[in-house]
Amino acid sequence: MQIDIKTHAHSQMIDITSQVRQLVKKSNVQNGLVHIFSMHTTAAITINDNADHAVEEDILNSINKVIPWDDQFKHMEGNSAAHIKGSLFGPSEIIPLENGSLVLGTWQGIFFCEFDGPRDRQVNVKIQADS
């Protein structure tokens, strides 16, 4: 299964928790694992606070300070900062599924992280039932 995402900013965190929940519901799987995978080298998947949007801003502001866009990188495409952020955050997350619900903490949400937008992006979601 796939989630299509259109990003609108150069750096952006997009809450995809509700889309993942919809795919889980559609699958009818009650117990297992949900694997969420970004098919891109300049984007990532992370889990963090989705109650206060200021957290997303703080994360992006901080990571942009740690890895500035211009830092004498060698990659010809000129977007090495986005590649580095993508690797630091990582391309995927695995979430347990119990009784049809994602096992997430109260404040946890699933985010697609754009580091070189705006672009059209795809996230693969694999739901594996317990055997």
Q: Give me the least distance between CB of 43 and Zn ion, in Å please.
A: 12
- Contact segment (CB under 5 A) with Zn ion among 28-36, 44-52, 69-77, 100-108 equals 69-77
Q: Measured at CB, which residue is nearest to Zn ion? A: 77
Q: Are 108 and 48 in contact (CB under 8 A)?
A: yes
3-state secondary structure of 94: strand
- Single out the residue of 11, 38, 50, 79 in contact with Zn ion (rule: CB under 5 A): 79
CB 18 within 8 A of CB 72: no
Residue 106 CB, nearest distance to Zn ion (Å)?
37
Q: Confirm or reject binding of residue 77 to Zn ion (CB under 5 A).
A: yes
**Which of helix, strand or coil describes residue 107?**
coil
Phi, psi of 92 (to 5 degrees): -155, 165
Enumerate binding residues for Zn ion (CB under 5 A): 77, 79
